[in-house]
Chain A
Amino acid sequence: MNFTALSFTDVLLLMLGAVLTENFIFSKFYGCCPFLGVSDKPDKAIGMGMAVTFVMTVSGAVTWAVYYLILLPLKLEYLRTVAFILIIAALVQVIEMFLRKFVPALYNSLGIYLPLITTNCAVLGAALVNIQKGYGFIPSVCYGFAAGRGFTLAITIFAGVRAKLEFADPPRAFKGFPMTLLAAGLLAMIFSGFSGISF
């Protein structure tokens, strides 16, 4: 097992990068469905963001262990996508049951969003990026957490924008979804400013 050697500063940079320059939604276009679907109210968006962060962090740890302890020794790396989908889906279910039993307050606020994450591409994407870049265990967990925070940031900002759009009076052809997509595009352009533009 050869992992990319990362110092503490590198991990911090990695996390900052996952939030801003390589934001999952705006530069990788992962998790666009919940981004558009659950961003109509700011409090909903924050709930969804929390749920995604939570699942990404835990799944980062579990998928890492499964890949390096089971798939790699058996030379089954090529099946990681299928394996990760299975693991994440089972994991989300267990987390949901665990929360319902022991942390009802958290369950009530995240409960309806957790099943939505079962097949969320952002969660799967974070797990796959960890393997692709060859991160060790701790960077993987940190990356998952930071990517989740990046998702939360993006969806919360967007929910704020949509709350304002509610009261806008656009031409009829732009009303509703077209307007939302335009706003999402503009936001993505703003975020591209973090990584700079080169030709």
Chain B
Amino acid sequence: MNDYMSILIAAGVFAGLGLLAGALLAAASKIFEVKKDEREDHIVAVLPGANCGGCGRSGCAALAADIVAGKAAPSSCTVGGAAVAKQIGEIMGVETEIPMRMRAQVMCSGTSELAKKKYVYAGARDCIAAEKMGGGDKLCANGCIGLGTCVATCKFGAISVIEGVAVVDYKKCEGCGACTYACPKHIIKLIPYDSTHWVGCMSVEKGATVNKQCAVGCIACRKCEKNCPSEAIKVVNSLASIDYTKCTGCGKCVDNCPRKIIWSSSRQNGELVIVRLPEENLQSLS
């Protein structure tokens, strides 16, 4: 009889504890209820959900909260592009300007064969670590270190290191820009997705110095500047750079560059085809 009693007491106490805890939780959920803006959930559902950090926030949920709070524009998601910006605009009930689709481009052509090195680096396999060792192993202060810090950062698996230089796969790149922040050399730039030409060099050294450092550095000869019919390409600080608002994609700069560092893309069945030299350009089109 005593045994039954002790079982009953135990069951009773636990039922009581359970009920008490349940009641407490139910009461707490009412007392501590936080009104959450429903639009926030809708926006999270629309966002790509990669949590890439390209917008400068910790993730998609954080951006949604900021958009609802009015701290961010509905078009802040660089990955979602026009479609997502439009949907968020509808949720928020405002007109949105459509952002331009961008893609990341590594502005360096100095593969391990073409760019000279000043020492043999054998440290941690990370660009930021290598950068601390006298700016990396390449003589050029603005060259790709090629240890893949951007590769590790890219949430879309769009970057790989080929022959010592990081290369972005345009089919996978969503233009979030996370790699542009990650690169210790700051040589990854966002350019309009449709842009056809870019200068594959970021060296601001004088021509003679560049010549000693790398076989494919911009020596600021100004041939591209002189031959550009639309004045889109300018040499500033011993480095050619293209103004994409003016560039018509005629390709005269590619033909005239003696260092072959102006790259061009052309389209094949609507797909971007990235090529290096004019003759390769022809091959890929034929």
Contact = CB atoms under 8 A, between A and B. Distances in A.
Interface in A75-118: 75-76, 79, 82-83, 86-87, 89-90, 93-94, 97-98, 100-102
Given A168-B124, A169-B125, A97 B17 contact: no
A94 B125 contact: no
Contacts of A75: 6
A84 B31 CA distance: 25
A182 interface: no
B14 A94 contact: no
A167 B129 contact: yes
Interface stretch (B18-26, B138-146, B173-181, B211-219): B18-26
Interface in A27-43: none
Contacts of B13: 70-71, 74, 76, 79
Given A74-B9, A76-B13, A86-B18, A94 B28 contact: yes
Interface centre among A70, A82, A87, A97 (most CB of B within 10 A): A97
Nearest to A66: B17
A29 B34 CA distance: 38
Contact of A97 (B10, B14, B32, B129): B32
Contacts of A94: 24-25, 28
Nearest to A97: B32
Contacts of A83: 14, 17
A76 B28 contact: no
Main SS of the interface on chain B? helix
Contacts of B33: 101
Nearest to B22: A90
B126 interface: yes
Interface residues of B, number: 21
B28 A98 contact: yes
Contacts of B6: 75
Contacts of A100: 32, 34
Contacts of B34: 100-101
Given A86-B17, A86-B21, A167 B126 contact: yes
Contacts of A98: 28, 32
A14 to B, nearest CB: 29
A97 B25 CA distance: 9
B269 interface: no
Given A101-B34, A168-B124, A169-B124, A93 B14 contact: no
Contacts of A74: 9, 13
A76 B14 CA distance: 10
A102 B32 CA distance: 8
Contacts of B24: 90, 94
Nearest to B124: A167
A151 B6 CA distance: 38
A100 B28 CA distance: 11
Nearest to A98: B32
Interface of A: 66, 70-71, 74-76, 79, 82-83, 86-87, 89-90, 93-94, 97-98, 100-102, 166-169
Given A83-B17, A100-B32, 15 more contacts: A70-B13, A71-B13, A76-B13, A79-B14, A89-B21, A90-B22, A93-B25, A93-B28, A97-B29, A98-B28, A98-B32, A101-B31, A167-B124, A167-B129, A169-B124
8 contacts: A66-B17, A76-B13, A83-B14, A86-B14, A94-B28, A97-B32, A101-B33, A102-B32
